[in-house]
Amino acid sequence: MLAKIEMEIEGNGLDVNMSSLFHGYLMNSIDSAYADYLHYNETHPYTSCIYKDMESGKIFWKITTFNKNAYEMLIKYFLENDVKNIYLEKKGIEIVVKSISMTKTSFDELFFSNEKKSKIYFLTPTTHKSNGVLQIFPNISTLLLGVINKINQHSDTIKLEDENVINELLEKVYIDEYYLRTRYFFLENIRVRGFIGNLKIKIKGKDEMLYQLLNFLLQVSEYTGLGVKTALGMGGIKIG
C-alpha cells in the first residue's frame, strides 16, 4: 500500500528550510511507541518534506508512506484529527493548513500502469553516499537501488529479488539529459549539500521487461523518495 498527503501551508516566518521542525512535530503527534520504533530503525517506511511549488508559489508539506502500518500511524493522524493548525514550538510560530489532498495506490497498480515515466524532478535537495562521501551529482543506479532496498525492507506485498534482472537494469540505465544545481539542505545547525533540478533517464536497448521495471521504480520513488535523509526532508521528488 502506498499513500501520499500534500498539505498547503501558510504562516509568518514559514520557509522550506524547516523540514526538520515539521518532522519533529510529526513524531511528537503520533503514537509514541511507533515514533520510538521509527527512531531506532535505519530506514523508514515514510518520507516527509517541505517544498515550494514554483508555478503557484505555494508551500506544501508532503508525507508519503509505503506500507499499511505507516499509513495507519502517520497519514491517518491528519485525516482523523482534521488538522488545521501546526505549532512549531522551537520557532514559536503557528502554521495554518489551507488544504489537504490525498492519493492512495498499490504496488501492483503501479507495476501494471500504462503511464510511461522518464523524468525526475527533485523538489528538495537530494544526495546519496558513494565510498562514504555524500555526492552532489546523482548516480542513477545508486538511487534506484535505494528504492529497491526500501521496497524489499518495508513493503507488505512485494519483493524484488531477481538479482539478474535488477543488475541488468542498473547496468543499462543512464542519465540522458539533466538540469541540476547544488543546493544546501538545512538540518538544525548542519548544512548538507545536495542537488536539485531535473533529469531524464533512459535504458540501453529495447527490453520491455526492463522498461516496465524502470517505470515501476520511478513511480514508486515518489513515495520512497530518493537518496538519504528522506524522512527529514531531503530527496522529495515528483516524476513525469
Mean pLDDT of the region 86-108: 96
For residue 43, is pLDDT > 90?
A: no
Please report, for the chain, the start and end positions of each structural domain, with discontinuous segments joined by +.
2-105, 107-239
Reported confidence tier of residue 189, pLDDT bands at 50, 70, 90: confident
Mean pLDDT of the region 17-29: 96
Which CATH number is associated with domain 2-105? 3.30.70.1890
Pairwise CA distance, residues 216 & 112, whole Å: 8
CATH architecture of 107-239: 2-Layer Sandwich (3.30)
Same fold: 2-105 with 107-239: yes
Secondary element (H or E) of residue 146: helix 140-154
Read off the pLDDT of residues 128-185 as tens digits, 9 standing for 90 and up.
Answer: 999 899 999 999 999 999 999 999 999 999 999 999 999 999 999 999 999 999 999 9
Q: Spell out the SS3 assignment of 9-20.
A: EECCCCCHHHHH
